[in-house]
Amino acid sequence: MSEPRRIDDTTWEIPSSSRGDMRVPARIFADDEILGDIAGDHSLEQLQNVATLPGIVGAAIAMPDIHQGYGFPVGGVAATELPDGVVSPGGVGYDINCGVRLLALPLTEPELGARREALVHEISRTVPARAGRSGGRSLDGVSLDAVLGEGPRALPDAGGGDVERTESEGRLVGADASAVSERAKARGRDQLGTMGSGNHFVELQIVESVLDEQTATVFGLTESQLTVLIHSGSRGLGHQVCTDFVKLMDARLPSYRIHLPDRQLACAPASSPEGRQYLAAMAAAANFAWANRQAIADGVRRAVGKVLGSDAAAATRQVYDVAHNVAKVEVHDGVRVCVHRKGATRAFPADSDDIPLAYRDVGQPVFVPGSMGTASFVLAGEPGSLERAFGSTCHGAGRRLSRTAARKQVGGAELRRELESRGIVVRCPSPKGLAEEAPIAYKDVDRVVRVVEQAGLARRVARLRPIGVVKG
Amino acid sequence: MYRLVDHTAELEVEIEAESAEGVLVEALRAFAELLGTGDGEAVERRLVVSAADLPALLGAWLEELVYLAETEAFVPDSADLSLSGLELSALLHGRLGEPRPLVKAVTLHRLRLHAENGVWRGRVVLDV
């Protein structure tokens, strides 16, 4: 594999001439240390594979939180020119519209005081990890097809401005419930309002420092303020939609004469029957994910009401909700493209028509969760995202160790004690699951966000510090 | 025989057996280890799975197990298999329980099922 060549302090490229099948270069946003980490796995080889997709334009792009995935790397962006460039379900991933929502509470850390543990405990009761005896929001009175078509708007209590403060207002155009298989619907039917396992969480966080006072004020954030960060996606429904269409497109590759270096990159022209059907099903799954995070936010508000009072619950305001596994039709440099973001976040700058009016002077909010127990960041989109990365930035810290390697370095009970000694309340039923998400398994999130800021993709607005963690 | 291989974000399973059916049985055992034990009612399920090629059949077989675990809380224990060409018929034995919701999906990345020097080898990467 060719070595990346430095373009500037935080940009590297592997030219398209480095491999006979690459159609565009591979571009990586990283500093020297992060690039060293990336070189230790198959991320760059996978990025070069993405650069072979029919119709890809610009570059196959890697964010500084990139790590090896399957097919596409995690932390990547690929745009294909429409109508005939391909759409690849693997370029979105199995957890369609996995994303992050930030709620701002009307009180500070000192005002929360000794009620912290009670609040974390109550959130763990109202936001289950999975469907079953203890969890899952009933769809009584709401049809699943309505959720797939309308997203959170289909829920009876989706008011209070949450929908307006959600990427794409929580509803992707073109969603079609009939494109979603019955198997996918069966997997998702009881899962609304559940967070899932793995790296999904609900965290209680404090605004530790404000780095851009003016923008933080517009986002409604002040130092020491209490917030809740929600990380979840489309659950089993999205997993099955991706499974269905990877299989379908894999079978149809010969008919489109598409040759791929990795079977998991299975794709079809976006204008083909398979491409159109996938985009309709993926949009429906994305809508389900936004409704899921809405239902989780409702659970958080119920917990806030019980522990802190109904006034606090009523004044708990959604800052924004962003997707980081999705494909969207957008226009960049006058060209209509399908932007695949897999482990990457849209980061449109000020003056974009696609962000809420309230934020249009400062840019779109972006949330970058760190690893469990470490800082998270609120960013704002910058013009460089449009100029260099199809309006995108990073999505997290990015894994650097496998789950097994993480468990070898730290035990679940030991990690729980360490987090609690730092004043972080932990609710997680699985010590094994806790150890697999240990901070040591991830890159340094401060370094990741410094790179995207230096690269002009997004700027830092606030740094958040966790005081409570609820995991599945 | 199977082993779970380290992977940065996902989980890779490598399998060796004396036959293609043997690889599929070992894949079930690996998946069952990931789910944990079922402690509820003993149940059986019948499945018929087909695919365009043998590696895809390995993937489709595991997808069925993911689906049963998620929608029925079914934890497999063993299976009686009959492979005819690219069609697999299975009688699954297992229990209901609270399977660990670890595996989201079965990927096609690095998917293999083939014979090599008289040994059948399988490999599958799971999204976890």
Q: Residue A131: its pLDDT value, please?
A: 67
Q: Residue A243: its pLDDT value, please?
A: 97
The C-alpha atoms of residue A268 and residue A251 are separated, in whole angstroms, by 10
Query: Is domain A5-400+442-471 in CATH 3.40.50.300, yes or no?
Result: no
Instruction: Determine how many CB atoms are found less than 10 A away from the CB of residue A114.
Output: 6
**Based on C-alpha coordinates, what's the Rg of chain B?**
14
The C-alpha atoms of residue A432 and residue A318 are separated, in whole angstroms, by 32
Collapsed DSSP state (helix, strand, coil) of residue A277: helix
Per CB-CB distance under 8 Å, the chain B contacts of A130 are 101
* A70 interfacial to chain B (CB closer than 8 Å): yes
In chain A, the residue whose alpha carbon lies closest to the alpha carbon of B6 is: A402
Closest in B67, B104, B110 to A183, CB measured: B67
Q: Residue A140: its pLDDT value, please?
A: 66
Closest in B6, B8, B98 to A132, CB measured: B98
CB contact under 8 A, A69 and B52: no
The strand pair at A458-471 and B105-106 is best described as unpaired
CB contact under 8 A, B101 and A130: yes
State how far the alpha carbon of A194 is from the alpha carbons of A134, A201, A429, B78, B97, in Å: 10, 10, 15, 30, 19
Task: Give domain limits for chain A.
Answer: 5-400+442-471
Contact A245, A274 (CB under 8 A): yes
CB contact under 8 A, A404 and B6: yes
pTM: 0.96
CB contact under 8 A, B108 and A129: no
Min Cα separation B20/chain A (Å): 21
The string of pLDDT tens digits covering residues B1-16 is: 999 987 877 899 999 9
If you average pLDDT over every residue of chain B, what do you get?
Answer: 94
Min Cα separation B71/chain A (Å): 6
Listed by number, the residues of chain A in 123-162 with a beta carbon closer than 8 Å to a beta carbon of chain B are 129-130, 132
In chain B, the residue whose alpha carbon lies closest to the alpha carbon of A430 is: B100
Hey, what domains does chain B have and what are their CATH numbers? 2-127 (3.55.10.10)
Cα first-last separation, chain A:
39
Quote the DSSP letter at residue A4.
P
Collapsed DSSP state (helix, strand, coil) of residue A73: strand
Amino acid at B100: R
CB contact under 8 A, A402 and B7: yes
Catalytic residue (choose from A200, A231, A340, A395):
A395
In chain B, the residue whose alpha carbon lies closest to the alpha carbon of A429 is: B100
Residue whose C-alpha is closest to residue A272's, from A259, A298, A300, A253: A253
In chain A, the residue whose alpha carbon lies closest to the alpha carbon of B127 is: A94
Amino acid at B20: A
Min Cα separation B38/chain A (Å): 15
The strand pair at B119-127 and B11-17 is best described as antiparallel
Contact A152, A167 (CB under 8 A): no
Dig out the tokens for A461 from the structure. 């607005």
CA angle B31, B36, B37 (to 5 degrees): 115
**Residue to substitute from A97, A199, A239, interface B, most B β-carbons within 10 A:** A239
Min Cα separation B118/chain A (Å): 26
The complex's ipTM works out to: 0.95
Q: Residue A95, Cα to own-chain centre: how many angstroms?
A: 9
A-B contacts (CB, under 8 Å): 82
Residues in chain A: 472
Instruction: Determine how many CB atoms are found less than 10 A away from the CB of residue B48.
Output: 10
Cα first-last separation, chain B:
21
CB contact under 8 A, B70 and A404: no
The verdict on whether A395 is a catalytic residue reads yes
CB contact under 8 A, A403 and B4: no
Q: Residue A133: its pLDDT value, please?
A: 45
In chain A, the residue whose alpha carbon lies closest to the alpha carbon of B101 is: A197
State how far the alpha carbon of A1 is from the alpha carbons of A31, A46, A409, B99, in Å: 20, 11, 31, 41
Instruction: Determine how many CB atoms are found less than 10 A away from the CB of residue A84.
Output: 14
pLDDT tens per residue across all 472 residues of chain A? 678 999 999 999 999 999 999 999 999 999 999 999 888 889 999 999 999 999 999 999 999 999 999 999 999 999 999 999 999 999 999 999 999 999 999 999 999 999 999 999 999 999 988 765 445 566 667 899 999 999 999 998 766 689 999 999 999 999 999 999 999 999 998 899 999 988 899 999 999 999 999 999 999 999 999 999 999 999 999 999 999 999 999 999 999 999 999 999 999 999 999 999 999 999 999 999 999 999 999 999 999 999 999 999 999 999 999 999 999 999 999 999 999 999 999 999 999 999 999 999 999 999 999 988 889 999 999 999 999 999 999 999 878 888 888 888 888 888 888 888 888 999 988 888 788 888 888 888 999 999 999 999 999 999 999 999 998 8
